[in-house]
Amino acid sequence: MAKRKTKFVCQECGYESARWMGKCPGCNNWNTLVEEIEASGSAGKHTFNIGSKSAGKPEKITAIESQKEPRITTAMKEFNRVLGGGIVPGSLVLIGGDPGIGKSTLLLQIASQLADKQLNVLYISGEESTRQTKLRADRLGVTSDLLYVLSETNLFDIAKQIEEIKPSFVVVDSIQTIFREEISSAPGSVSQVRESTSELMKLAKSNGIPIFIVGHVTKEGSIAGPRLLEHMVDAVLYFEGERHHSYRILRGVKNRFGSTNEMGIFEMKEEGLREVMNPSEIFLEERSQGAAGSTVVASMEGTRPVLVEIQALISPSSFGNPRRMATGVDNNRVPLLMAVLEKRVGLMLQNQDAYIKVAGGVKLDEPAIDLAIAVSIASSFRDQPTKGEDIFVGEVGLTGEIRRVSRIEQRVQEAAKLGFKRVICPKKNLDGWTAPKGIEVIGVDTVQEALKVGLGQ
């Protein structure tokens, strides 16, 4: 008889303790430690080891042949872009997002497209019955005979069906519903999620099957379960967007087979998700002309330049401590840039409330957006609009200097393609390339120069 011992595991970070505590020492969250019974000794009757191989020998890295990873492409170019060019066989990909955002819809559409390419596809749903999945498939127009649907949560039965069907693509929706019988804790617990993901990883690597797993998110927006889950998989994708807006953003935050921080834009329609090929036009289509506090920045999302409008509203404060609020950018960046404008430019902003927003619901985190934020703040404070055909790109230092940014050529080309006439950027970025015809590139060294060019002062 196997001995059984009790432990308490944090459901947020995976911290283990021999006794219960109200506050987890690992992540400082309250009431997250849950009792789990761990069996030691012999494993359960359904223990299986998929794809076990004999131990390999070390090889010289110079003797290993370089081989380009083959990829399975879908009909969605935006989806292929986020993954680095397509789906790599044998990869394990984790997709997270808020409830109802469209994760299941996206994966069912991808599964249907691969089935239309004469590939066997298995869609495993642990949260819905096969009839519920069929209703969604009818709405999306899925009619392929090579798309198999399975409603199961037992990992042993899932592995058995995969070995029988031998699919070319597998979707598991979601990992929090899958369980192993030999683990006594409830489905969704840290132990179950960790062990289930480990077995799915072995299954994907040993059989060369790409497996996509859906992960729930916590109220903070991160993937639920242990942080180890994101380290185990090959790629982590976040499906973001407001439930009351039709646009969705698929963002790659980890990818072993491509660049990270790639972004794909989709629009939710009644018949499913439709990819948006030119997101810059979407983000700028409702921009007000001649409004003070509005600027446009060329931001890089992975390898793609995206033009986004940044809005600022500066108004006198009614309280002793002025408010500094930002949506879509780091909250700490706003007071820093306001301090630079006050110290280096002479704008009296210490008694002004500041509200910064990135239009379209996009989140920007690269330093190249500093100049656009600073110009929008100055524009709103002086109540003087910028020119509608200007783009601002540059990192702002604490001494007021404008520092160089990466990939200035792609940013300028995207601005020229959408009809903008001027790009105000760091002067150090002007060497070694030629701007396209029809657009003027102006280099500046300080914030004062940028305001003089952008606002005419």
**99 annotated as belonging to a binding site for a ligand:** yes
CA 424 vs CA 71, 128, 214, 380, 402: distances in Å? 40, 52, 42, 18, 10
**103 annotated as belonging to a binding site for a ligand:** yes
**210 annotated as belonging to a binding site for a ligand:** no
**102 annotated as belonging to a binding site for a ligand:** yes
d(CA 165, CA 120): 8
d(CA 181, CA 372): 55
Query: In the beta sheet, which residues pair with residue 150?
Result: 124
**98 annotated as belonging to a binding site for a ligand:** yes
The dihedral over CA atoms of 19, 21, 27, 29, expressed in degrees to the nearest 10, equals: 150
CA triple 129-102-104, angle to 5 deg: 35
**Helix or strand run (H / E) with residue 214:** strand 211-215
- HSE-CB of 5 using CA atoms within 13 angstroms: 9
d(CA 383, CA 314): 9
In the sheet with 440-444, reading across from the earlier edge strand, the strands are 390-392, 422-426, 440-444
**96 annotated as belonging to a binding site for a ligand:** no
d(CA 218, CA 224): 5
d(CA 196, CA 424): 52
Binding residues for ATP: 97-104
Binding residues: 97-104
